[in-house]
Structure 1
Amino acid sequence: MKRIGIVRETKNPPDRRAALDPEQCRRLMDDYPEVEITVQPSNLRCFKDDEYAALGINVAEDLTKCHVLFGVKEVRLDALLPGKTYFFFSHTAKEQPYNRDLLRAVVDKRIRLIDYEYLTREDQRVVAFGRWAGLVGAYNGLRGWGLRTRRYELRSAHDCFDLQELLAELDKVRLDKERITVTGGGRVAGGALEILDAAGVPHRKPEDFLSHQYPHAVQTRLDPWHYTRRTDGKSFDFEHFISQPEDYESAFDPYGKRTDLFIPCHYWDPRSPVMVTRRHLESGTFPIRLVADISCDIGEPIASTLRASTIAEPFYGYDTSTATETAPFEPNAVTVMAVDNLPGELPRDAATDFGEALLRNVLPELLDDKESAMLARATIADKGSLTPPYAYLEGYLAGRS
């Protein structure tokens, strides 16, 4: 018998998502009769305990007999069970200081940690909430713009039952001549563009965005070769950019000077160039009035992102003269939306979509008796040690970096 557990989310602020919905749990058990699933009870999860129980899924507090445990966000340290295999987004592989103790606990408890973010096939992630982050983040950006300009009011995304209800809200959007810039080319940016398209914002090529005036709102999307350039003057090379981002400098200024609402959706390596500095905002070089920072990297590459915000309070202000936090809609402030768990605002839709990807791409590999190269690539720690691909985290683990 292979026992799988669905953990109760323990991160604060709470996340309402689950790795698998009730129907997916039932389907997995039907397809693999040797699998038994136990769901830890939760009064916050978007799927009720009774929804699991109604389909014959065991709902119980004790997961100690489970071999593999699935969560979504980081697991609280005192909730980690020694010697288990865990799947969750750990946010440790980029040496995030706030999760150093989490990785230490994983190693100390001899846990096998498999991070969803690094489950890849042919260099493409196989499970992700990225589209949902883009959808909700761009929606929040438009909601914030309405609150800032007082032209319209949208309901909070988490007050919408599902995506269809959220999309219906966009009929209320009233824009003027705003210029909206989106960065990135992956699932996150794709989700953001879905929202802008649904709001009726026409798309323009980057070169036209720079050279034309428009009597209406427009959006453009930038790839890395638009917002960075090589310092040695050579042509942009994407593979080189990924491996050696320190050899590039920002080329964002022409776009920043023509942007009112900025929606960053790109992956940022700490070695990459900074895009929006304190000086850009203090001097008025960039007229940006709202940043819907879906990427949510604190401090850099966008100076106004001082901290992550929450679903309950998604907006804060960045005072351009003092570079400190202020009220979100002050006239001299940049409004910042930096919620770091955006898919949690549409938890049922996002969780079901994520669970389908797990069933399709990950669970067959897990339940196969053969060694899985994909799972190995995503295993950060196992049996009390970091795995070879993540050995670079030794200094981070020891507190030296």
Structure 2
Amino acid sequence: MSSPHLWLRHETRSTERRAPLVPHDAARLVADGVRVTVEESPQRVFGIEAYRTGGCEVAPAGSWVDAPDDAYVLGIKELPDAPTELRHTHIFFGHAYKGQEGAGALLRRFTAGGGTLLDLEYLTVDGRRVIAFGYWAGYVGASLGVLAARGRLEPLHPMEKAELDALVRSAGADGMSALVIGAQGRSGIGALDALVAAGTVLDGWDREDTRELDHQAILEHELLVNCVLSTTPQEAFVRPEDLDADRALRVVADVTCDVTSEHNLVPVNTSITSWEEPARRVADTPALDVIAVDNLPSLLPREASVAFSADLVPLVPSLAGRRGPWAAAAAAYRDAQTVRTA
């Protein structure tokens, strides 16, 4: 079976600087006989020359629309609105299988063009994800939560981990009560690491702790970090009636950011927040802010990209045959299309 042709596209979102495949890993794939084409990008944290030096072919930004039919178009975040018909196999986070905003329109584009979405979120083995940006999403989300709780959260910009850590230390989080829900997952572990480093008084809950929710215990923490990705209905962590309750809770860092899904566990917020205004005030007396930035790891684009790419590379040999996790992703796409057309 021939090796796949990976086509790394430019990300059109201005705040997205990550790369799912970093230069040194791309060079490894090229050395193993994989054809890798990389689009030029003015914002990607890794320069194009680093890819070229590793043997990758270089193409203009947005040229994936004219890529060979057998190219696998690799990205992270949403596609541009055109073309309306998608004929390639695309690999990215589509956020299209749980009724999210725009999900139907995206799936119709694949149907119209005969293409396929291999959603990175659904690369699984025995139901468990094998690749994710989760650790850094949790780390950044918790860090921003600390800054917001101390009134130090400003418009975001990409940075190195040392800079973010210094900002959090200067905020003075010693003694802040914080709760991470979903503490045993990738995002939860990242959040715990950030909050331990910040000096918070920390609790971590996971599945067993949320079977019967103790809402009062949640409200007794100044900061809640939600790292739970829910695929089935369950009780919300922060309900509309909690806004008027006597509570210590002042900030929710919604790392999962499933805001337009019916499974939103923080339904007091129903839309993402931006890099310009990363927190949204959802209650005034007492105050409650929600952080719901949907590309948190891009705040630390270098660290997040290196970790993600290292997990992706071992999966590439099984891509052309749709084996292993790729088979699970393909099945998830077929199921989503069946539901949409039923």
1:50 positional shift = 2.6
Residue aligning to 1:301: 265
Q: Give the structure-1-normalised TM-score.
A: 0.76
Moved more, 264-273 or 16-25: 264-273
Q: Summarize the alignment of residues 374-385 of structure 1 with structure 2, pairs less than 5 Å apart.
A: 374-379=325-330
Instruction: Give yes or no for contact 2:125–2:324 (8 Å, CA) kept in 1.
Output: no
1:177 positional shift = 4.2
What is the CA–CA distance in structure 1 between the aligned matches of 2:47 and 2:221, rounded to whole Å?
A: 43
What is the CA–CA distance in structure 2 between the aligned matches of 1:20 and 1:269, rounded to whole Å?
A: 28
Residue aligning to 2:95: 91
Give yes or no for the alignment of 1:343 onto 2:305: no
Give yes or no for the alignment of 1:275 onto 2:228: no
Q: Which residue identity is paired with 1:164?
A: A
SS in 1 for 2:225: strand
Instruction: Give yes or no for contact 1:113–1:380 (8 Å, CA) kept in 2.
Output: no
What is the CA–CA distance in structure 1 between the aligned matches of 2:126 and 2:231, rounded to whole Å?
A: 20
Residue aligning to 1:224: 207
SS in 1 for 2:316: helix
Q: Summarize the alignment of residues 309-328 of structure 1 with structure 2, pairs less than 5 Å apart.
A: 309-320=273-284
Work out which of the residue numbers 366, 383, 397 in structure 1 matches 2:319. Answer: 366
Q: Which of these two proteins has the greater Rg computed from alpha carbons?
A: 1
Question: Structure 1, residues 177-217: CA drift from partner, whole Å, max 9, x if none?
Answer: 4321110020000000010111123xxxxxxxxxxxxxxxx
The alignment of Structure 1 onto Structure 2 pairs a total of residues equal to 331
Question: Structure 1, residues 88-144: CA drift from partner, whole Å, max 9, x if none?
Answer: 111011121322211110111111210111111233211100001001100101111
Work out which of the residue numbers 390, 395, 401 in structure 1 matches 2:336. Answer: 390
Residue aligning to 2:58: 59
Residue aligning to 1:253: 215
Change (3 A) 1:371 1:75: closer
What is the CA–CA distance in structure 2 between the aligned matches of 1:345 and 1:257, rounded to whole Å?
A: 28
1:156 positional shift = 6.5
Give yes or no for the alignment of 1:181 onto 2:182: no
Residue aligning to 2:39: 40
What is the CA–CA distance in structure 1 between the aligned matches of 2:174 and 2:195, rounded to whole Å?
A: 14
Q: Which residue identity is paired with 1:225?
A: E
Provide structure 1 residue ranges, at least 5 long, that are not aligned to the other structure.
Answer: 148-152, 202-217, 230-250, 321-330
Give yes or no for the alignment of 1:356 onto 2:307: no
Instruction: Give yes or no for contact 2:196–2:202 (8 Å, CA) kept in 1.
Output: no
Work out which of the residue numbers 246, 249, 261 in structure 2 matches 1:288. Answer: 249
SS in 1 for 2:280: strand
Residue aligning to 1:9: 11
Instruction: Give yes or no for contact 1:136–1:157 (8 Å, CA) kept in 2.
Output: no
What is the CA–CA distance in structure 1 between the aligned matches of 2:338 and 2:316, rounded to whole Å?
A: 28
SS in 2 for 1:262: strand
What is the CA–CA distance in structure 1 between the aligned matches of 2:300 and 2:45, rounded to whole Å?
A: 9
What is the CA–CA distance in structure 1 between the aligned matches of 2:169 and 2:82, rounded to whole Å?
A: 46
Aligned sequence identity (%)? 30
SS in 1 for 2:82: helix
Residue aligning to 1:207: none
Change (3 A) 1:332 1:41: same
SS in 1 for 2:189: helix
Moved more, 255-264 or 171-180: 171-180
